[in-house]
Amino acid sequence: MRRRPVTWRRRGWTRFSTATALVLTTLLATLLAGARVRAQQPSEYELKAAFLFSFAKFIDWPADSFSSQQAPFAICVIGKDPFGRSLDELLPGRSIGGRPVMIERVKDTLNARHCQIVFISTSESRNLAEILDGLHGTNALTVGESEHFAESGGAIQFAVEENHVRFLINPDAGERAGLKLSSKLLALAKIVHDAPSRKN
């Protein structure tokens, strides 16, 4: 069964910065140009793959989070990969901060500790706390789409409402990872914080 296409709209849970929304929209449009050749609208996971790349444009990683000056910018997936071919088709050949983007599928947190962005699949929902603890001390931006992902300590959570992809950001998680999230990106998201159970 073909996935239902999903679009992104600039009106949502919070007030939008027009300039930032325009930049993000331009980035998404550029990445999804090929997808639109194949279909009228990009699929949900083509859009989410483009978002992963776009998020990085609004976040600063510490220089020492990379093993060397030549190290690539690694986007990793833990668990069952829901993206299909979207990551491999949209992101190769792209660069972030002058570093080539590399896509990796990893089995555990030990192999993900070098990654700049770690997408944690819903297949790993039961292991979420263990995975987040395993990434403690790294500069990994954790992204997921399982329910309560951000409140449970993940940095960015995708949510689909009325066939539109939106996202929630937990700035507490970004701070723990030593990442500087642009206020412009925060202005485009619904802000949540660690649940009391995460803080205790």
| pLDDT 10s digits, 117-176 | 999 999 999 999 999 999 999 999 999 999 999 999 999 999 987 777 888 999 999 999
Q: Is 100 exposed, middle or buried (0-12, 13-18, 19+ CB in 10 A)?
A: middle
In a domain, 25, yes or no: yes
The per-residue pLDDT for 6 is 39
Mean pLDDT, rounded, for 90-112: 92
Number of domains in the chain: 1
CATH number at residue 143: 3.40.50
Give the separation between CA 164 and CA 130, rounded to whole angstroms. 30
Look over the chain and give the mean of its residue pLDDT values, rounded to a whole number: 83
Q: Taking Cα atoms as reference points, which of 98, 111, 45, 47 lies closest to residue 70? A: 98
Q: Which of 27-31, 111-115, 178-182 has the lowest mean pLDDT?
A: 27-31
In a domain, 118, yes or no: yes
Mean pLDDT, rounded, for 4-32: 48
In a domain, 111, yes or no: yes
In a domain, 200, yes or no: no
The whole-model pTM stands at 0.83
Rg of the chain's alpha carbons, rounded to an integer?
Answer: 16
Dihedral through CA 144, CA 155, CA 147, CA 14, nearest 10? -110
92 against 72, higher pLDDT: 72
In a domain, 80, yes or no: yes
Asked whether the beta carbons of 145 and 169 are under 8 A apart, the reply is: no
The per-residue pLDDT for 40 is 58
In a domain, 175, yes or no: yes
Q: What single letter denotes the amino acid at residue 38?
A: R
In a domain, 132, yes or no: yes
In a domain, 7, yes or no: no
Domain housing 107: 18-195
